[in-house]
Chain A
Amino acid sequence: MNINLTLFGQTIAFAIFIWFTMKFVWPPVTRAMQERQKKIAEGLDAAGRAQRDLSLAQEKATQTLRETKEQAAQILEQANKSANLIIEEAKEQARSEGERLIAAAKAEIEQEMNRAKDQLRAQVAALAVKGAEQILESEVDSAAHSELVNKLASQL
């Protein structure tokens, strides 16, 4: 409990310890801590930026997707439309072709019929003359009666 030189010894030791701490302990430790703090702050910053970029990219992607979908729908619609048109046209063509064919057939039939009629008429005339000949048993002057027969034939 006596106060003695220990007092100064302690003061000197204390002063040296403070000096050493100030010179060799405090600066490196705090520097490392500060640098780490900075690094972490930068890292967080970068993470935030990346997140922002990501959300931006996502937004862009969805937008592109939407646009693409719209475009696809448009293309599909157009394709449908043109397909319909083509079908319509084909139908139209088929119909007109058919009509044309029918008309041609009808005309041919008509022709054929007329020809048959003419033939028939001629045959009928000849048949009639022959019949009359036989009925009369006499020679009929075909020249004299042909007018009459023709008139008859045309009435058929």
Chain B
Amino acid sequence: MATTSAEYIQHHLQNLTFGKLPAGYQRADGSIVEEATWTLARTSSEAADMGFMAVHVDTLGWSIFMGLIFLGLFRFVAKRATVDTPSGLQNFVEIVVEFVQGIVKDTFHGRNPLIAPLALTIFVWIFLMNSLKWIPVDYIPGIGMALGLDYFKIVPTTDPNATFGMSIAVFALIIYYSIKIKGVGGFTRELTLTPFNHWALIPFNLFLEVLGLLTKPLSLALRLFGNMYAGEVVFILIALLPFYVQWVLNVPWAIFHILVIPLQAFIFMVLTVVYLSAAHEDNH
């Protein structure tokens, strides 16, 4: 366990990283890696030195686990969905589905069978991943420690890899549908001839439009990551207080997250639908 506050915070913000250490690398305990090996990072600097060829096992594991809970629950209901009076669980699922359907219907004006399921996936999945924040910050890392894992950060949305991973998928869909609906020519025209329809201003237009395009995934990912990361840091800071006063701050902050957690999931979903709706509109 870390000793100083700074170390404690740093420890709690470090993902469990499985990556490739280059040959001749000196590990934290002084030993030297003979040849390039895939291994779990023992320290933050090791994780950083692994570079791009590494995987956050905790992020991926928990996000996939949450995704499987979502799919399992919804598939369970979908298989047994009855037209007659629905049971409690089906009612719940239908409320969620209807909610998402309403948002998509209001925001998205094209016809695309992908959008609504996409929005549902985003909303429920991000909600589940965010909701892991309600688990006290020391519980899971403590269990990990007992199992011999040095780091364990369970909230996937506090890892920029997770949020960017999702926003990159959304970005890919934006590009795909822009080209599919407007054609290569139409999309190029949109990028070069708006907002100023003059050949001399093409570079300026291109700069503006590409910036606008790139802002979309960036804002999606950073908003979710920023909110969750900041909230997590505050939870960790509260955890540094003596245990008998923690609840004074911990409880209000957790209650506040009843608002933040669904809200961030909701914003990610709505913005995705809005961006894809814009990608489907050929009105330039």
Contacts and interface: CB of A to CB of B under 8 A. Distances in A.
Interface of A: 1-11, 13-15, 17-18, 20-22, 24-33, 35-36, 39
Given A6-B59, A21-B74, A29-B78, A36 B83 contact: yes
Interface string B49-78: 011111110011001100100110011011
B166 to A, nearest CB: 5
B50 A4 contact: yes
A32 B121 contact: no
A8 B160 contact: no
A8 B54 CA distance: 11
A30 B101 contact: yes
B190 interface: no
A11 B74 contact: no
B103 to A, nearest CB: 14
Contacts of A9: 55, 60, 161, 165
A13 B50 CA distance: 22
A4 B60 CA distance: 12
B239 interface: no
Nearest to A31: B81
Given A4-B54, A10-B165, A29 B94 contact: yes
B121 A21 contact: yes
Nearest to B60: A9
A5 B55 contact: yes
B60 A21 contact: no
Interface of B: 13, 15, 17, 19, 47-48, 50-56, 59-60, 63-64, 67, 70-71, 74-75, 77-79, 81-84, 86, 90, 93-94, 97-98, 101, 113-114, 116-118, 120-121, 125, 156, 159-162, 164-166, 168-169
A33 B94 contact: yes
Contact of A25 (B54, B71, B84, B101): B71
A18 B118 contact: yes
B113 to A, nearest CB: 7
Contacts of A5: 52-55
